[in-house]
Amino acid sequence: MQTSALGILIQIMKKTIYIILTLIVFFPVTAQGQNTKAAPSAKSGTEQNNDTDKCGAIAEGGPTIEKLSRLEGAMSVRNLEFKYFDKFLFNLTDQDFTELKALKPNCDGSSEGIAVMIFDKLKQKISEAKETRDNTIKWMEKTKKQLKSLSVSPTAVKKIHNTWKEMESRSQEMLDGDLKYFAKFLNQIRRRIYEESAKQPSDLIKPFYPIKNLND
């Protein structure tokens, strides 16, 4: 009887130990599985917040962007400094345009066709404006070399004056910084010409000196 009771007790203890070990192993795995499932949910929330921020960036300045894309003629180079999608227009990349085309329909409910049309035309306008500015920069560099070689003469003064007028007519073909830079250069050249001209002797008789007094 004692042996039989002891055997039963041993069997009960084995089962108890087995159950305890099973619980110890099972619950950590279950908890880990639950944490693993929770991660995608948190990531999805982050992505949603990011998309919301990007939609806000698209909406801000959107009317101006659509207006620029509908221009029949060339876009002013000055518009390259307009900020959109957290960047100046001249800094937008091919990847940015691809993302903008995908985001706009989801953000404002517009059709994919409209989004593609707007951003393809905007990209073209930006490319043309960049090319225009590049040509203006080349003109500026060429003109600088010509003006630096000028000697003191009425022709030099006239050349500087005409260059200033041309700079003003090209003002929409350059950035504001380009205009200020070139205007400063022209002022420096003009000042040099005037200063060197003042140092040179003049054979001209000043009109307010009567000729009869020259020999006194």
What integer is the mean pLDDT of 125-134?
97
Is residue 75 within 8 A of residue 129, CB to CB? The reply is yes
Look at residue 206 in the predicted model and tell me its pLDDT.
Answer: 43
How confident is residue 31, by pLDDT bands cut at 50, 70 and 90?
very low
Q: Which of 29-38, 70-79, 127-136, 140-149 comes out lowest in average pLDDT?
A: 29-38
What local confidence, expressed as pLDDT, does residue 199 receive?
Answer: 80
Sheet strands (E) in the chain:
83-84, 87-88
Range from 1-15, 99-113, 141-155 carrying the lowest mean pLDDT: 1-15
Distances (CA, A) of 71 to 118, 156, 199, 216: 11, 40, 53, 73
What is the domain partition of the chain in residue ranges? 62-131, 132-198
Would the pLDDT of 47 be above 50?
yes
pLDDT of residue 36: 45
Tell me the range of 3-17, 39-53, 155-169, 190-204 where mean pLDDT is highest.
155-169
From residue 14, alpha-carbon distances to 7, 8, 74, 182 in Å are 11, 10, 87, 93
Q: Is pLDDT of 214 > 50?
A: no
Q: Which pTM value belongs to this model?
A: 0.67
Average pLDDT of the chain is 81
The stretch 12-20 carries a mean pLDDT of 61
- 179-193 burial string, b = 16+ CB within 10 Å, else e? beebeebbeebbebb
Give every CB contact of residue 189 below 8 A, 6+ residues apart in sequence. 147, 148, 150, 160
93: left (phi over 0), alpha (psi -120 to 50) or beta: beta
